[in-house]
Amino acid sequence: MQMLVDKHIFQYHATVPWPAVGAGQVDWIFGVQTIENWLNDHVGPRLKHWAWSDSEQSYSMGVAFRWDQDRLLFVIAWT
């Protein structure tokens, strides 16, 4: 989603589906908070270890990472 794009220099990108609530419905605030909390707890602070990135897809979130192992951990956890 374009509004979540940070300026960053991270080269490892991942795109995952938005977290769903209930019967497959998407709650945008819940999705952002859930993923941001997970990233902060498991990867580290935003803009130091990860940043929001353009997913180029309507129902996906894009995240960029400083390290490839963090990107892989994120993809495994959210797919």
Identify the helix (H) or strand (E) that includes residue 73: helix 68-78
Whole-angstrom distance, CA of residue 61 vs CA of residue 52: 8
Tell me the per-residue pLDDT of 3-43, one tens digit each, with 9 for 90 and over. 678 899 999 999 988 877 666 666 788 888 989 999 999 99
What is the Cβ-side half-sphere exposure of residue 35, based on CA atoms within 13 angstroms? Answer: 28
pTM: 0.85
Give yes or no for a contact between 62 and 54, defined as CB atoms under 8 angstroms apart. Answer: yes
Identify the band that residue 1 occupies on the pLDDT scale cut at 50, 70 and 90: very low
Nearest to 50 by CA among 27, 31, 75, 18: 75
Residue ranges per domain, the chain? 2-78
